[in-house]
Amino acid sequence: MDSTYYQTVRDLEARGVDDEYITGWACGYLRNPKREEQRLSERYEAGYADGCTGSVASAEV
């Protein structure tokens, strides 16, 4: 795994970004399947979309 993954997650945690966003970002970045429908949240889906593109554009504190 490349260092971008670890550096980004560490940066998001240090900034105090929501855990749901970070989890979604990590799953999207790694191209894991999304959670089951009943466990999806708006923050998770924003993180997943950003992770798929490798950006953190929707990250909020």
Mean pLDDT by 10 residues, the chain (61 residues): 91 96 97 94 96 92 61
Q: Which two tokens stand for residue 36?
A: 């089951």
Global pTM?
Answer: 0.92
The confidence score (pLDDT) of residue 37 equals: 93
The confidence score (pLDDT) of residue 61 equals: 61
Nearest to 50 by CA among 13, 12, 3: 12
The CA–CA distances, whole Å, from 8 to 32, 36, 38, 39 equal 17, 25, 27, 24
Residues 14, 41: Cα–Cα separation, whole Å? 22
User: Do residues 61 and 15 touch, judged by C-beta distance below 8 A?
Assistant: yes
